[in-house]
């Protein structure tokens, strides 16, 4: 009777131990399937390196290009930051790996660029508005100087500093212009008056400076021509009633900048000094019209999804798929072994497979990426020297501009493998005890 009770107790103990192992394995498998194998949390600061990547310097830049560079410079000064999160599900990784055309990979990457664009919040939008307006005001002032004096074409920055039109001054005038644009009842006349007040003030500073003999005076006739040109510019951004939507105006200017001009606008001064005159700026044929900053940013970021990027991403997705597959197979194999040995005299199995395998995906998808991100953000002197020797300082600068951290579903199987390792002390002791008892029984027989 005691022998029978002992067998029942042994079977029950083994079943409980196996159920615990199956539960641990099931959690490991489900976490690998349901949770994203890779999730990136990033914060991108608009630095000079990021600016050069998005708006590379041209050998012979047009005036529209110069305006774009000014906006980029202002975004750098404002330290515009974008924070976003990108998730890759296990199913997406698998589908991309199995897709021969790479179309799914492209679509996923495009969805990521859209996610980044959607992360633009009100604070970022406000800084973009300031940058666009400030760049436009700076361009207007520079044009005023070049139109009034042929000898100062290449000295506009120097002249502006010497007459007191510095960054602080331009910032204040920018806020005035922006306030007039964003005013509740903004009209063509009200915005034009604000812009012309900047023109008048700069003219006074020029006439009272050491450059007074090098610049023409802004007489009534010239001023009237300039006002007419400014009105035409502002009017092209107003509705049929002459009212201005401030948000739409900033979005339109931002559209022009992101499109690089595309011959939709001309800042070049004409012979009669109407340097504000532009062609029909945002006609019905302009595809950028009425698009928000987010939509425009989406389009710009989508241009970064090139064939090379898609190929690289597809390779990465394949590696992630293999990593997830290793985890699932290792833990599923353990469950299968238990199920196959359920009716055997010793139903307990060896636990080493998931314990020896689960660390690999964890290192590849979590530990290694985070170590790399940390090293790029704060490289030790040895790494810094090696990077400089290889001429990769720009890459290092990008690393500092982008703060990245990675999380992964592979953390859970890795932690569970450690739990299993600790639990295995009890489990293994029981398995060996049963094996020893079975050996004794065979010997007695």
Reported as a pLDDT band with limits 50, 70 and 90, residue 261 is: very low
Give pTM, 2 decimals. 0.69
Looking at per-residue pLDDT, the higher value among 7 and 156 belongs to: 156
Closest CA to 434 of 365, 348, 313, 340: 348
Reported as a pLDDT band with limits 50, 70 and 90, residue 29 is: very high
Residue 214 and residue 222: Cα distance in Å, rounded? 17
Q: pLDDT tens digit string along 358-381?
A: 999 999 999 998 888 887 777 666
- DSSP state letters, 255-279: HHHHTT-TTS------TTS-TT--S
Q: What is the overall mean pLDDT for the chain?
A: 78
Tokens 């992360």 found at: 119
154 to each of 16, 180, 333, 351, how far by Cα in Å? 84, 31, 74, 76
Q: To 5 degrees, how large is the angle CA 7–CA 8–CA 14?
A: 90
Closest CA to 396 of 49, 161, 4, 163: 49
Contact, 43 vs 80, CB < 8 A? no
Q: pLDDT tens digit string along 192-225?
A: 889 889 888 888 888 888 888 888 777 787 778 7
Q: What's the average model confidence in pLDDT over 223-244? A: 72
Q: What's the average model confidence in pLDDT over 64-83? A: 79
The predicted structure's pLDDT at residue 327: 93
Beta strand residue intervals within 12-115, DSSP E: 38-45, 81-88
Residue 270: pLDDT above 60?
no
Q: Which residues contact 230 (CB under 8 A, 6 or more apart)?
A: 192, 195, 196, 199, 276
Q: Which residues contact 152 (CB under 8 A, 6 or more apart)?
A: 145, 146, 159, 211, 214, 215
Q: Is 100 exposed, middle or buried (0-12, 13-18, 19+ CB in 10 A)?
A: exposed
Looking at per-residue pLDDT, the higher value among 356 and 140 belongs to: 356
Window from 236-245, 280-289, 316-325 with minimum mean pLDDT: 280-289
Q: Which residues contact 164 (CB under 8 A, 6 or more apart)?
A: 205
Contact, 244 vs 187, CB < 8 A? yes
Residue 156 and residue 154: Cα distance in Å, rounded? 6
Q: What is the DSSP letter of 365?
A: I
Reported as a pLDDT band with limits 50, 70 and 90, residue 407 is: very high
Other C-beta atoms closer than 10 Å to the C-beta of 73 total 17
First to last CA, the chain: 19
The predicted structure's pLDDT at residue 285: 38
Q: What's the average model confidence in pLDDT over 321-326? A: 92
| Helical (H) or strand (E) element with 407 | strand 402-407
The predicted structure's pLDDT at residue 423: 93
Which tokens belong to 421?
């390792």
Q: Are strands 402-407 and 81-88 parallel, antiparallel or unpaired?
A: unpaired
In this prediction, what percent of the chain has a pLDDT beyond 70?
79
Residue 276: pLDDT above 50?
no
64 to each of 155, 156, 260, 278, 310, how far by Cα in Å? 19, 17, 7, 11, 31
Q: What's the average model confidence in pLDDT over 321-339? A: 94
């Amino acid at each position: 009777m005691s022998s029978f009770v002992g067998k029942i107790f042994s079977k029950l103990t083994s079943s409980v131990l196996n159920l615990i192992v199956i539960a641990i394995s099931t959690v490991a498998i489900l976490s690998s399937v349901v949770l994203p194998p890779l999730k990136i949390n990033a914060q991108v600061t608009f630095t000079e390196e990021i600016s050069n990547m998005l708006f590379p310097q041209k050998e012979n830049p047009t005036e529209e290009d110069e305006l774009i560079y000014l906006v980029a410079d202002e975004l750098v000064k404002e330290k515009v930051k974008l924070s976003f999160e990108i998730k890759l599900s296990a199913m997406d990784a698998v589908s991309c790996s199995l897709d021969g055309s790479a179309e799914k990979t492209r679509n996923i990457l495009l969805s990521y660029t859209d996610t980044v664009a959607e992360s633009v919040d009100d604070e970022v939008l406000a800084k973009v508005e300031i940058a666009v307006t400030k760049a436009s005001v700076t361009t207007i002032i520079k044009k005023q100087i070049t139109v009034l004096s042929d000898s100062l074409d290449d000295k506009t920055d120097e002249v502006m500093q010497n007459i007191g039109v510095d960054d602080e001054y331009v910032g204040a005038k920018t806020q005035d212009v922006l306030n007039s644009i964003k005013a509740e009842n903004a009209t063509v006349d009200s915005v034009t008056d604000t812009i012309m007040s900047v023109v008048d003030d700069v003219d006074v500073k020029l006439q009272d400076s050491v450059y007074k003999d090098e610049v023409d005076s802004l007489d009534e006739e010239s001023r009237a021509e300039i006002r007419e040109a400014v009105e035409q510019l502002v009017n092209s951004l107003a509705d049929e009633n002459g009212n201005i939507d401030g948000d739409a105006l900033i979005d339109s200017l931002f559209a022009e900048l992101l499109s690089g001009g595309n011959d939709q606008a001309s800042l070049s001064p004409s012979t009669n000094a109407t340097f504000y005159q532009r062609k029909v700026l945002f006609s019905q044929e302009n595809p950028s019209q009425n698009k928000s900053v987010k939509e425009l940013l989406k389009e710009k970021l989508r241009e970064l999804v090139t064939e090379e990027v898609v190929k690289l991403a597809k390779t990465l997705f394949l590696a992630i798929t293999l990593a997830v597959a290793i985890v699932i197979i290792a833990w599923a194999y353990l469950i299968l072994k238990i199920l196959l040995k359920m009716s055997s005299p010793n139903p307990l199995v060896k636990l080493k497979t998931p314990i020896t395998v689960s660390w690999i995906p964890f290192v590849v998808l979590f530990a290694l990426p985070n170590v790399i991100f940390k090293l790029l953000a704060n490289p030790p002197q040895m790494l810094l020297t090696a990077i400089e020797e290889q001429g990769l300082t720009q890459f290092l600068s990008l690393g500092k501009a982008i703060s990245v951290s990675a999380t992964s579903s592979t953390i859970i199987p890795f932690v569970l493998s450690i739990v299993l390792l600790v639990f295995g002390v009890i489990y293994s002791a029981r398995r060996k005890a049963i094996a020893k008892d079975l050996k004794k029984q065979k010997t007695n027989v």
